[in-house]
């Protein structure tokens, strides 16, 4: 009986010793693995942070590119809207001009500047000709004022001599100055000259100059320009004034050609 009890105690003691040994060696193994696991974790965090940072940076750059493209696209849409609004306003103005002027007017697009008509470079070529009813000598205008006169015609085009050409003469009067008339023609630097003005006349600064209708070539009342100054030197019986054209010829896109009924 005593031997059996001793054997049991020995087994329990051996189990306890094994448990203590296992716990010791397990703790030692865990402790030994700590530096390795800690280094692995630190390395993983640093590398992942950098990799994820690069990834987020690439995503941000791609997003910025996309947003810049969208902004540029919206700017193009806005530009188109502004251009269409300006075109709409221009066409409405042209339609209003046609409605309030007497006679028949043919709308024509400007094809090019320059040309050989009458040996002058101050011309425009337009896209309407004899097939549309355009005739040589026809008056050409826009809502702003007088453009010139047709000097040559083909079936589909015509050439217009601008009022800035010295060879084109237009009978005009000064608005607000009774009896002040003169003959207008091209001068220098795209300015106009109003010649044969009465020396005794008093003209207000920046008065409008309009066609008088005398001679039957140009209808009366078409704006031609603004009288900037009058040369009164020498007391000559006839004076001349410098006139700024009412029309900016460099920006013309459409003109209106008068068709006599």
Q: What's the mean pLDDT in 28-55?
A: 63
Record the tokens describing residue 62, joined without a space.
């791609």
Q: What is the chain's mean pLDDT, rounded?
A: 76
For 137, half-sphere exposure in the C-beta direction (CA atoms, 13 angstrom radius) is 4
Give the three-state DSSP class for 206.
Answer: coil
Report the alpha-carbon angle 224-227-229, nearest 5. 155
183-200 pLDDT tens trace? 988 877 778 988 887 655
- Tell me what the mean pLDDT of segment 25-50 comes to: 62
Nearby residues of 143 by Cβ (< 8 Å), 6 or more positions away: 93, 94, 96, 97
pLDDT digits (tens, 9 = 90+) for 150-186: 999 999 999 999 999 989 999 998 887 777 788 988 8
Distances, alpha carbon 116 to alpha carbons 113, 121, 129, 135, 160, in Å: 10, 7, 17, 18, 10
Q: How far apart are CA 101 and CA 256, in angstroms?
A: 11
Q: Where are the domains of the chain?
A: 170-248
Nearest to 126 by CA among 259, 256, 260, 261: 256
- Residue 98: alpha-carbon gap to chain centroid: 26
Check whether 233 has a pLDDT greater than 60.
yes
Is this prediction's pTM over 0.75? no
- Which pLDDT score is estimated for 118? 45
Q: CA-to-CA distance for 251 and 90, rounded, in angstroms?
A: 12
In 178-193, which positions are buried (b, 16+ CB within 10 angstroms) versus exposed (e)?
eebbbbbbbbeeeebb
Alpha-carbon 228 to chain mean position: 31
**Max CA pair span of the chain:** 162
- DSSP string across 72-117: HHHHHHHHHHHHHHHHHHHHHHHHHHHHHSSSEEEEEEEEEE---G
| Per-residue pLDDT tens over the stretch 106-154 | 888 899 887 554 445 688 999 999 999 999 999 999 888 999 999 999 9
Reported CATH class of domain 170-248: mainly beta
């Amino acid at each position: 009986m005593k031997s059996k009890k001793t054997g049991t105690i020995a087994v329990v003691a051996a189990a306890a010793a094994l448990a203590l040994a296992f716990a010791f060696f397990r703790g030692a193994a865990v402790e030994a693995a700590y530096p390795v696991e800690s280094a692995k974790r630190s390395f993983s965090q640093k590398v992942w942070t950098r990799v994820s940072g690069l990834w987020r940076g690439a995503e941000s750059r791609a997003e910025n590119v996309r947003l810049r493209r969208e902004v540029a696209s919206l700017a193009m849409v806005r530009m188109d809207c502004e251009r269409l609004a300006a075109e709409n306003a221009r066409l409405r103005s042209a339609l209003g001009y046609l409605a309030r002027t007497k006679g028949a007017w043919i709308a024509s697009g400007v094809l090019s500047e320059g040309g050989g008509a009458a040996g002058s470079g101050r011309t425009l070529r337009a896209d309407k000709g004899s097939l549309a009813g355009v005739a040589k000598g026809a008056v050409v205008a826009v809502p702003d004022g007088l453009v010139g006169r047709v000097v040559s015609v083909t079936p589909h085009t015509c050439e217009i001599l601008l009022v800035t050409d010295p060879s084109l003469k237009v009978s005009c009067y000064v608005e607000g100055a009774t009896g002040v008339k003169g003959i207008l023609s091209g001068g220098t630097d795209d300015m106009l000259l109003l010649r044969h003005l009465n020396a005794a006349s008093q003209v207000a600064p920046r008065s409008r100059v309009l066609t008088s209708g005398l001679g039957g070539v140009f209808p009366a009342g078409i704006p031609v320009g603004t009288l900037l100054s009058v040369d009164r030197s020498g007391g000559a019986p006839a004076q001349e004034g410098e006139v700024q054209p009412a029309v900016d010829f460099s920006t013309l896109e459409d003109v209106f050609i008068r068709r006599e009924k």
